[in-house]
Amino acid sequence: MNHSIYSADRSTHLKIVVLALVAGIAVAGFGISARTNSDGAAQTAHVVKAGKPVAVTSSDASVVR
């Protein structure tokens, strides 16, 4: 058995390419199927509106400007 990819024959390279292609398609198919919603409802965006400015501090020291 030859353990070097450099001296492998053409059929070995073809097997590696086919295996990588099948694995890539399987991962992509799993990713696409994991993102689909079973109920078919569209996602909605939640709007967050800005309020009054707030200063948040963690000390009781006065601010010198």
Q: Distance (Å, rounded) from C-alpha 2 to C-alpha 63? A: 74
- Say if CB 1 and CB 7 are below 8 A apart: no
pLDDT for residue 36: 64
pLDDT per residue over 26-54, tens digit each?
A: 999 998 888 765 555 666 788 888 888 87
pLDDT tens digits, 53-63: 877 777 766 66
For the chain, how are helix, strand and coil distributed in percent, rounded to 5? Answer: 40, 0, 60
- Contact criterion met (CB below 8 Å) for 2 and 8: yes
The closest alpha carbon to 17, from 8, 46, 40, belongs to 8
